[in-house]
Structure 1
Amino acid sequence: MLGHALFVIIVFLIWELAAARGPLEPTFFGRPSGIARYLYKGFVTEGQLWLELGYTVLGAGISFVGGSLCAIAVGLVFVKFPRIHRATEPYTTLLNAMPRIALVPLFLLWFGLGIGSKIAVGFSLTFFIVLSATIAGMRSVDRDHLLLSRALGATPSQIFFKVMLPSAVPVIFSGVRLGLIFALLGVVGAELIAAEHGLGQTVAYLQATFNVDGVMAILILLSLLGLGASSLMSRLERNLLAWQ
């Protein structure tokens, strides 16, 4: 941890010196001192960034939870009833192939400029990622375990809930962790196009006003937000899968 902190400090010092001495033009690359001033003003002096951060986190959280729960439920139904999966697979593949960012104008038309359209984009990204992971995890169960369970007289429901589902949890959780990141990306991407609030909308405004320090500050903030979410999910995964 100390090594990572030292590396980041060195990178920012080199960046600041390069911006001050000339190799890097602050107009195009910003400088760490300007980034720090923007963040201090946004979080401490004026506090406006708390509101924008809250909108983005709320949208990403709702789309992640809703998309993950729906995807896991649908995935379990597909595995339990293969005929339903075969009948719907072409349509789910077609929907998943659609570029969600290109659908943002439609979501804006349907759900408005508010947080609803951002949740719809994040939900659509999370749903298909977690759905694929759920199906893959359930199908990756060791066949020897299934044969042994049947030989010992386990019922189909017991095999499903006590053998298949626990064995598939690691793969499902990998999809859930990835779904969290894509929920955040979807919400921010939709905010960049059109929004009333959010960090994506803030980046769009700062870019239009040529405030490079502000743009860099929001990008760093989003990176830290994604890193924190990923680390939290990894820790939760280790705790939940400690039995393995």
Structure 2
Amino acid sequence: MSQLIRPPLWIGQVIFLFALGALWQALANYGFINPILIGDPVGILLFLYNGLFTNYTLVPHLLWTLWATVSAFLIGSILGIGVGSLFVAYPGLEKFLEPIFAGLNALPRVALAPLFLLWFGLGISSKIALGASLTFFIVLSGTVAGARSVDSDHLTLSRMLGATSTQIFTQITLPGAVPTLFSSLRLGLIYALLGVVAGELLAARAGLGQALSLFAGSFQTNGVFAVLFLLALIGSCILAAMNRVEARFLRWK
């Protein structure tokens, strides 16, 4: 007997989401739920379509959030990889600074958002600072953990063959840390988005978080769900893009 051909997984996922949306719409149409409080899928999709392609009300907020997220991710990642590399190269420095960094990492950065607003203002700088602070510690931990997960036999063999400390660090330690590093980068990018949106929710001139707060305050439930759907879509695209970049960098494995 020939083996049955299974449909792609994404088809089942689309069918499930469509069925869930149809059930939601039916409950709203027949009065089982209040669309004013819960919204309805058709209204949400229309709001999202109009905001992106007709009246463009969501486009400036989307661009603002994306720019802040990318900037926060790049700043936090560069600093995290740089400091993590220093910790790996100079263990004494890590031992000296570890209590300080542990205390800073334990601080809830979202609770510190008012301080960032005070220091950097209501503009995009405070959102970038908040997102970068979340990304930094995640990438820092991933860099250190990845570098220390390198096989010790490879390091010993390299020293026996006469490799210098710089050659070992750049050609063995860093490439061996790439898988763990990419896991932290993927998570750091998501947290950069979360930090930016959290800052926008508190106070901002623009951004999806600011739009979310505005729609919630004016009881535009469909607008709230439209922004949430857009944020979920951005998060999914971020993860998919990072997975592709990771696969490209790890072809050697």
Give the TM-score band, short-chain normalised: over 0.9
Match of 1:170 in 2: 179
Alignment of 1:79 with 2:84, yes or no, is: no
Match of 1:100 in 2: 109
Q: Which amino acid aligns with 2:38?
A: F
CA drift of 1:41 comes to 2.0
Work out the CA distance in 2 between the residues paired with 1:164 and 1:147: 12
Match of 1:114 in 2: 123
Match of 1:142 in 2: 151
Alignment of 1:7 with 2:21, yes or no, is: no
For residues 153-164 of structure 1, the aligned pairs below 5 Å read 153-164=162-173
Match of 1:202 in 2: 211
Work out the CA distance in 2 between the residues paired with 1:161 and 1:230: 27
Helix, strand or coil at the partner of 1:153: coil
Work out the CA distance in 2 between the residues paired with 1:114 and 1:91: 29
CA drift of 1:22 comes to 2.1
Runs of 4+ in 1 over 6 A off after TM superposition: none
Bigger helix share: 1
Helix, strand or coil at the partner of 2:146: helix
When the two chains are superposed, the root-mean-square deviation of aligned CA atoms in Å is 0.9
Work out the CA distance in 2 between the residues paired with 1:237 and 1:208: 40
Work out the CA distance in 2 between the residues paired with 1:37 and 1:168: 45
Percent of aligned pairs sharing the same letter: 49
Q: What are the Cα deviations for residues 189-222 of structure 1, in whole angstroms up to 9, with x where unaligned? A: 1100110100000000111111111101100110
> How many residues in Structure 1 have an aligned counterpart in Structure 2?
244
Gaps of 5+ in 2: 1-9
Q: What are the Cα deviations for residues 114-141 of structure 1, in whole angstroms up to 9, with x where unaligned? A: 1000000000000000000000011111
Work out the CA distance in 2 between the residues paired with 1:45 and 1:164: 51
Q: State the TM-score, normalized to the length of structure 2.
A: 0.94
